[in-house]
Chains A and B, each alone.
Chain A
């Protein structure tokens, strides 16, 4: 069932034939690939021989999972596709988690997997895995190359698919004989994707409708998701919010899309969102979702979500609109294009003074808070110190758990593309490797890898890469000797039956760092934290700091499962 190839390169019989590997590297060059995250093996040896001669930088993670998370970190910060090359079989299956993660969080990746030769595919040959079958549900698209001549076209299509529309991971499976075989191919390829035409320009009528709804609204709120960041629409968002004086709430993944210090910024909403943001969504009469997908961790109980609001939803993916929340005003478009149109409308401004005042009162009366009697080191305090000492300008990468939520709550982002976290899949082990990619993507920025003692141990081997490249990554372990988020749920919902969530037996993280040649510290108090952070942030070498925090600390506020956003637990009045 092979479609006729759409390759249009002119065949030159007299030119030297090129191998599949050469064609691949040329195609990557053509796409201006800045870095490859890869791990060699039998099926990709011919490609690696070509990489040996190539000038595209290559980063060798110490586990393929680390490689793909690094590529995700790179993609999150740059918006460009992260490129991964791994071998067949186990190399390929090791990247499955990263693909699922990238699919959920709409990160552009182009992933190459080696494959056994075409004549033995399907025979359970050595290191064969049906990677197309395995990855179909977790890729935006996947290919297996069957003709050498198709390589230029397929690579070009893969990059286009990965970064256009709603971004996502694309996988290309390359049988070994395709990589070694040669063909007479020259010139460039044209993409041929008749079934794929993402809509980027908004429908004018819907824009009009939205503009009218805004002018009539008394309590409008913008819910800004990562779509703002993918579309590089932060300027437009700010302009529009200011023009109409509409408050802005962020999703977890949207953080940084709107400056945290802005008077119109309310905060992050959702399960561990702040009181003002959740209440703003609950009380709103017009909810303008731009580039968020109404994930359940954001909405809480759907029956009680935004009960008073007319819902407008701007999304590049039509399938997201109306999927979870009934939507009155659908706008299928790129966030930037839609915002530009909305700004150009310059509609009649709504009367939002009273609403903004209410929100301001919520913000001042019910701020994010925590108890701190000074007896034990509080994780929130550590994040606050990090925020102050880096001026809100560091790249912050997290793992998954309580530390992730504290980072989201207490680090106030001034800028966009500085926040890297695994949202949809919630992948422990993401943080350390993702910080490698994030650091390579933005070499000048200090990277804070905020992780937990559990998550860190899922990909700690990547310390080797950090040392090798001497990346300015400051690894912050908020060590509560537990799988803290699990422990919290067991405390709250399972009557303190801590089933396999305590991990008192640990390596010395300080010494572990030392073993890799990275300076390590252990910190037990605020005074020590002050001193160590000053030292650690005074230079650009990697460091690891093991913060021994209060093991009983919980993340609040919290919207418990099944509750509405207005039913937060742990909210304290100032």
Chain B
């Protein structure tokens, strides 16, 4: 199952190394990881998407992350009300014959063309990962030359559901 974990960490050298090490040491696979500044100076936000077999593993990951000196907060937000977004850039072959067809696919997905070449188009799309995957599958038959995805970044919505519905794995 796919889990989305967000972390706030001290923006110090080596932090990312320590965190990714922790995953590789325990043989957990990171599907994607995004890092950037947060609203607070000196604090970065990391969004980690992992694929795990069971709850026990995610509990162990969360605890191990929490243990790191530079990690300020760890939250598994998968089951909470959240917003998650990913951006993808797709360079696709576009002949005069297929160009308009591609344009017609872009619109319903609210993607946009950000570069036009003689034989290719570069499409930018943002959204939840599922949407991006669906779009890539639609575009694939035209011939994808290059694809770059940022990985998911996410945080909680302003309003949460009842506390009882959220998952609590803290044992303190």
Contact of B59 with A by CB under 8 A? yes
Please name all residues of chain A whose beta carbon is closer than 8 Å to the beta carbon of B171 when the two chains form the complex. Answer: 318, 321-322, 330, 332
Decide if B12 touches A133 in the complex (CB within 8 Å): no
Decide if B18 touches A136 in the complex (CB within 8 Å): yes
Please name all residues of chain A whose beta carbon is closer than 8 Å to the beta carbon of B172 when the two chains form the complex. Answer: 199, 203, 318, 332
Max chain A CB contacts within 10 Å: which of B25, B56, B67? B67
Chain B, residue nearest A323 (CB) = B60
Please name all residues of chain B whose beta carbon is closer than 8 Å to the beta carbon of A195 when the two chains form the complex. Answer: 9-10, 68-72
Decide if A133 touches B17 in the complex (CB within 8 Å): yes
Q: How far is the CB of A320 from chain B (nearest CB, A)?
A: 9
Please name all residues of chain A whose beta carbon is closer than 8 Å to the beta carbon of B25 when the two chains form the complex. Answer: 137
Decide if A194 touches B17 in the complex (CB within 8 Å): no
Chain B, residue nearest A320 (CB) = B63
Chain A, residue nearest B8 (CB) = A195
Please name all residues of chain B whose beta carbon is closer than 8 Å to the beta carbon of A140 when the two chains form the complex. Answer: 69
Interface bin, chain B? 20 to 34
Chain B, residue nearest A133 (CB) = B17
Q: Which of A3, A161, A321, A332 contacts B10 (CB 8 A)?
A: A3
Please name all residues of chain B whose beta carbon is closer than 8 Å to the beta carbon of A354 when the two chains form the complex. Answer: none
Decide if A322 touches B56 in the complex (CB within 8 Å): yes
Please name all residues of chain A whose beta carbon is closer than 8 Å to the beta carbon of B60 when the two chains form the complex. Answer: 319, 322-323
Given contacts A133-B17, A332-B171, contact A319 B11 (CB under 8 A): no
CB under 8 Å from chain B, chain A span 128-155: 132-133, 136-137, 140-142, 144
Decide if B18 touches A3 in the complex (CB within 8 Å): no
Q: Which of A193, A319, A321, A330 contacts B64 (CB 8 A)?
A: A319
CB under 8 Å from chain A, chain B span 19-52: 21-22, 25, 41-42
Decide if A2 touches B13 in the complex (CB within 8 Å): yes
Q: Kindly supply a per-residue 1/0 record for chain B positions 76-105, scoring 1 wherever the CB is within 8 Å of any chain A CB and 0 otherwise.
A: 000000000000000000000000000000
Please name all residues of chain B whose beta carbon is closer than 8 Å to the beta carbon of A505 when the two chains form the complex. Answer: none
Contact of B124 with A by CB under 8 A? no
Please name all residues of chain B whose beta carbon is closer than 8 Å to the beta carbon of A13 when the two chains form the complex. Answer: none
User: In the complex the two chains form, what is the Cα distance from A1 to B17 in whole Å?
Assistant: 13
User: In the complex the two chains form, what is the Cα distance from A100 to B14 in whole Å?
Assistant: 18
Chain A, residue nearest B64 (CB) = A319
Decide if A318 touches B21 in the complex (CB within 8 Å): no
Contact of A4 with B by CB under 8 A? yes
User: In the complex the two chains form, what is the Cα distance from A527 to B172 in whole Å?
Assistant: 58
Max chain B CB contacts within 10 Å: which of A137, A195, A319, A321? A195
Interface bin, chain A? 20 to 34
Decide if B69 touches A196 in the complex (CB within 8 Å): yes
Please name all residues of chain B whose beta carbon is closer than 8 Å to the beta carbon of A193 when the two chains form the complex. Answer: 69
Contact of A212 with B by CB under 8 A? no
Q: How far is the CB of B17 from chain A (nearest CB, A)?
A: 6
Contact of B66 with A by CB under 8 A? yes
User: In the complex the two chains form, what is the Cα distance from A161 to B69 in whole Å?
Assistant: 9
Contact of A567 with B by CB under 8 A? no
Contact of A553 with B by CB under 8 A? no
Please name all residues of chain B whose beta carbon is closer than 8 Å to the beta carbon of A1 when the two chains form the complex. Answer: 11-13, 15
Contact of A317 with B by CB under 8 A? yes
User: In the complex the two chains form, what is the Cα distance from A1 to B66 in whole Å?
Assistant: 21
Max chain A CB contacts within 10 Å: which of B41, B66, B69, B172? B69
User: In the complex the two chains form, what is the Cα distance from A142 to B172 in whole Å?
Assistant: 27
Q: Which of A136, A196, A317, A318 contacts B14 (CB 8 A)?
A: A136
Please name all residues of chain B whose beta carbon is closer than 8 Å to the beta carbon of A196 when the two chains form the complex. Answer: 69
Decide if B69 touches A318 in the complex (CB within 8 Å): no
User: In the complex the two chains form, what is the Cα distance from A132 to B16 in whole Å?
Assistant: 12
Please name all residues of chain A whose beta carbon is closer than 8 Å to the beta carbon of B18 when the two chains form the complex. Answer: 136
User: In the complex the two chains form, what is the Cα distance from A132 to B21 in whole Å?
Assistant: 12
Chain B, residue nearest A6 (CB) = B42
Chain A, residue nearest B63 (CB) = A319
Q: Which of B9, B21, B41, B67 contacts A136 (CB 8 A)?
A: B21
Please name all residues of chain B whose beta carbon is closer than 8 Å to the beta carbon of A194 when the two chains form the complex. Answer: 10, 72
Decide if B63 touches A318 in the complex (CB within 8 Å): yes
Q: Kindly supply a per-residue 1/0 record for chain B positions 159-172, scoring 1 wherever the CB is within 8 Å of any chain A CB and 0 otherwise.
A: 00000000000011
Given contacts A194-B72, A203-B172, contact A322 B10 (CB under 8 A): no
Decide if B68 touches A3 in the complex (CB within 8 Å): no
Please name all residues of chain B whose beta carbon is closer than 8 Å to the beta carbon of A141 when the two chains form the complex. Answer: 69
Q: Kindly supply a per-residue 1/0 record for chain A positions 320-347, scoring 1 wherever the CB is within 8 Å of any chain B CB and 0 otherwise.
A: 0111000000101000000000000000
Q: How far is the CB of B7 from chain A (nearest CB, A)?
A: 10
Max chain A CB contacts within 10 Å: which of B13, B64, B68? B13
Max chain A CB contacts within 10 Å: which of B14, B66, B68? B14
Q: How far is the CB of B103 from chain A (nearest CB, A)?
A: 42
Q: How far is the CB of A311 from chain B (nearest CB, A)?
A: 13
Q: How far is the CB of B115 from chain A (nearest CB, A)?
A: 31
Q: Kindly supply a per-residue 1/0 record for chain A positions 186-210, scoring 1 wherever the CB is within 8 Å of any chain B CB and 0 otherwise.
A: 0000000111100100010000000
User: In the complex the two chains form, what is the Cα distance from A142 to B21 in whole Å?
Assistant: 14
Please name all residues of chain A whose beta carbon is closer than 8 Å to the beta carbon of B64 when the two chains form the complex. Answer: 319
Chain B, residue nearest A161 (CB) = B69
User: In the complex the two chains form, what is the Cα distance from A1 to B172 in whole Å?
Assistant: 32
Given contacts A4-B42, A136-B21, A194-B72, contact A318 B66 (CB under 8 A): yes
User: In the complex the two chains form, what is the Cα distance from A194 to B14 in whole Å?
Assistant: 17
Chain B, residue nearest A321 (CB) = B171
User: In the complex the two chains form, what is the Cα distance from A161 to B67 in whole Å?
Assistant: 12
Decide if B17 touches A3 in the complex (CB within 8 Å): no
Please name all residues of chain B whose beta carbon is closer than 8 Å to the beta carbon of A203 when the two chains form the complex. Answer: 172
Please name all residues of chain A whose beta carbon is closer than 8 Å to the beta carbon of B66 when the two chains form the complex. Answer: 318-319
Q: How far is the CB of B45 from chain A (nearest CB, A)?
A: 14
User: In the complex the two chains form, what is the Cα distance from A2 to B171 in whole Å?
Assistant: 33
User: In the complex the two chains form, what is the Cα distance from A137 to B14 in whole Å?
Assistant: 11
Q: Which of A137, A161, A319, A322 contacts B21 (CB 8 A)?
A: A137
User: In the complex the two chains form, what is the Cα distance from A209 to B148 in whole Å?
Assistant: 52
Decide if B10 touches A317 in the complex (CB within 8 Å): no
Please name all residues of chain A whose beta carbon is closer than 8 Å to the beta carbon of B67 when the two chains form the complex. Answer: 317-319
Please name all residues of chain B whose beta carbon is closer than 8 Å to the beta carbon of A323 when the two chains form the complex. Answer: 60
User: In the complex the two chains form, what is the Cα distance from A133 to B14 in whole Å?
Assistant: 8
20 A-B contacts (beta carbon < 8 Å)? A1-B13, A3-B11, A3-B42, A133-B17, A136-B14, A137-B21, A137-B25, A142-B14, A144-B13, A144-B14, A193-B69, A194-B10, A195-B10, A195-B70, A195-B71, A203-B172, A319-B60, A319-B63, A319-B67, A332-B171
Nearest 8 A/B pairs, CB to CB? A319-B63, A330-B171, A195-B72, A141-B69, A196-B69, A3-B42, A137-B21, A3-B12
Give 14 A-B pairs besides A140-B69, A322-B56 with Cβ atoms closer than 8 angstroms.
Answer: A3-B12, A133-B17, A136-B18, A137-B22, A137-B25, A142-B14, A193-B69, A194-B10, A195-B70, A317-B67, A318-B67, A319-B63, A319-B64, A321-B171
